[in-house]
Amino acid sequence: MAERATGPGTGARPSGGLVLGPLRTLTNEFTDKERRLAYILVTPALAIILAIALFPLLYAIWLSFQEIIINQSSSFVGLQNYVEMFQDPDFHSALRNTTVFTVLSVSLELVAGMAIALALSRAFKGRGIARATALAPWAFPPAIAAVMWRLMFQDQVGGGIVAYLIKSSGIYTHPILGNDAALIGAAVLVDAWKTTPFMALLLLAGLQVIPQDVYEATKVDGATSWQQFWRVTLPLVRPAMLVALLFRTLDAWRVYDLLWVMGNRQLNSLSVYVYNGVKISQLDFSLGNAAAVFVFLSSIAIAFVFIKVLGTRAVE
């Protein structure tokens, strides 16, 4: 049983001489007594992973090919749910809002996070306290942060301080909470406030491992600090940046709580679309489920692009 189910890689396809090599190593894998024991021991763990990770995923994908209306029988409809989803104006607004939110918030957080990380990586008095306080906003639960900021952005009860400042400076004179675009802008700022520290922390860890002597060497060669940043710091911090960007982008892509609370349930995002479909509506379960699969697949695609683009350059 173990032999068939847990062969490593894709080696078990006997078609032509090319596969003979892998095939031979594969046989070796199982004739070696100790290795066989290893496989037997690892099988339960693999089975659990398959059961809890892969099964629900495949089940969701299978469901997305069905037309399901609660309390009625379901039927196989192929890709129709996806076609309907891509034609749904609500899905368009969800996709647009999520994309805008992700691009803006992650770019802002990257730039601000890098600045903070650079500042904190220098040795100065009270650095420990500075690092701890910089992390404070990150400790807020997103829903709490959203409620808190929503109060500051509203201009009715008592008059929110941010709303007042924005209005009196003449940047935007309408109620911020009453306009979707302004609301997304506000949400981007709140998200940046909340997660820039996290970004800074990851980047700081990357900065710390850059050996000092590299900087000394460039200094000897007469490089300006600007050149040092572009030629030394940035390339060497890239692996840490990849991790930070990947985390933040995927987080932003499936944003739910922040927009849900900031927008008082009105601001659409992909996750909100999924929730509305499967939980609120009694007719759109299939669309919501298809959107859930879309979020999953698009997340994988985003991760893939990041690793491909940023990862290979780091190796060069």
Q: Which residues make up the interface to other proteins (CB under 8 A)?
A: 41, 69-71, 154-157, 174-175, 177-179, 264-266, 276, 279-284
Q: What are phi and psi of 128, to 5 degrees?
A: -60, -45
Closer CB to other proteins, 167 or 254, in the complex: 167
Q: Report angle CA 219, 222, 227 to the nearest 5 degrees.
A: 80
AA letter at 274: V
Closer CB to other proteins, 140 or 172, in the complex: 172
State the nearest-atom distance from the C-beta of 278 to other proteins, in Å: 11
State the nearest-atom distance from the C-beta of 309 to other proteins, in Å: 33
Q: What are phi and psi of 157, to 5 degrees?
A: -70, 105
Element (H, E) at 66: strand 66-67
State the nearest-atom distance from the C-beta of 283 to other proteins, in Å: 5
Q: Report angle CA 6, 9, 13 to the nearest 5 degrees.
A: 90
State the nearest-atom distance from the C-beta of 238 to other proteins, in Å: 29
* Of the candidates 120, 117, 105, 101, the residue with the CA atom closest to the CA atom of residue 245: 105
Q: Own/partner pairs for 172-176, CB < 8 Å, 24+ apart?
A: none
State the nearest-atom distance from the C-beta of 85 to other proteins, in Å: 14
The answer to whether the Cα torsion of 192, 193, 199, 204 is positive or negative is: positive
B/e letters for 19-47, b = 16+ CB within 10 Å, e = fewer, are: eeebeeebeebeeeeeeeeebeeeeeeee
Closer CB to other proteins, 42 or 300, in the complex: 42
Closer CB to other proteins, 117 or 258, in the complex: 258
State the nearest-atom distance from the C-beta of 70 to other proteins, in Å: 6
Closer CB to other proteins, 179 or 225, in the complex: 179
Closer CB to other proteins, 51 or 309, in the complex: 51
State the nearest-atom distance from the C-beta of 284 to other proteins, in Å: 7
Strand partners, 162: none
Q: How many residues does the chain have?
A: 316
Closer CB to other proteins, 92 or 313, in the complex: 92
